[in-house]
Amino acid sequence: MRTASPRPRVVVEPASSPAVTCIVVTYGSGPIVLRCLETLAATLRDDAIAFDVVVVDNEHRWAHSRTRRLLALATAGVRVIAPGRNLGFAGGNNVAVRDTTSELLAFVNPDIEFRPGWFPPLVAALDRATIASPVLLNADGTIQETGHLVAADGSTWPITDDVDDGAIVERPYASAACWVMRRGDFERLGGFDTTYHPAYYEDADLGLRAAVDGAGTVVVGASRVVHARGGSTTSSAPPDISAQRGVFRRRWASHLVTCPPPPG
């Protein structure tokens, strides 16, 4: 379905041939997704980008259809996929990709707030990389992440060194809170792996597959977005990701042994 609120807060104009499809996977996300879509649409319009927006609203036991109701009330032109169950992060994104045709794909968390000019530098960086990610900022403007490092035991931790506005730096991977990829690369690599259901480590896994394929991941200093980390779910409890880490560690053991241990 495509939303059609008579008084929309967010409007996505129909594009017969969008340059990019922005995919947002939600899970009981609530109102924060509206700020994401509002800033997403405004910044892409300002850059004269033809775009489409697809929201995959996974079923949530505590917030059944809440996101869908918000989208219906406050947006127009947003495509909503309601799978009827929780496909997880990987499955939700994969389903949306199969339902789109644009050459470029932007994978976006619902807790991202976009800053002007974030998109064109990421597209330009795809001339040298498979995955392009912006600098992730905290709400106060401090650096949250400029990519991740991976240790031999499969644990990961964020790099918090800033990246100059004119710089593009290679990283082992970056959080998929905001990625831009070419469709052909995503499909050739097999998309996100649903083995990591419901979430966590699927971005690290795809990042390493991209690196083995030859181009890998870059973080682009000229592109900056705010990430309200943890705002994409309704739970404040830290997730148990031991099973996902175990899958990742076993799968990538031969590539992780050369990585340094976590700091301190």
SS (H, E, C) 22-52: EEEEEECCCCHHHHHHHHHHHHHHHCCCCEE
Where does residue 174 rank: exposed (0-12), middle (13-18), buried (19+ CB within 10 A)? buried
Asked if the model's pLDDT at residue 263 lies above 80, the reply is no
pTM over 0.85: yes
Q: For the domain 2-252, what is the CATH code? A: 3.90.550.10
Identity at 33, one-letter amino acid code: V
Q: What is the pLDDT of residues 139-184, one digit of tens each?
A: 999 999 999 999 888 999 999 999 999 999 999 999 999 999 999 9
Q: Are 36 and 106 in contact (CB under 8 A)?
A: no
CA distance linking residue 70 with residue 33, whole number of Å: 9
Q: Provide the residue ranges of all domains of the chain, joining segments of one domain with +.
A: 2-252
Q: Which residues pair with 220 in a beta bridge?
A: 134, 168
Q: Which residues pair with 163 in a beta bridge?
A: none
Cβ neighbours for 28, distance < 8 A, ≥ 6 positions apart: 60, 62, 63, 66, 67, 233, 234
Q: Are strands 10-11 and 20-27 parallel, antiparallel or unpaired?
A: unpaired
Q: What is the pLDDT of residues 193-215, one digit of tens each?
A: 999 999 999 999 999 999 999 99
Which percentage of the chain shows pLDDT scores above 70? Answer: 93
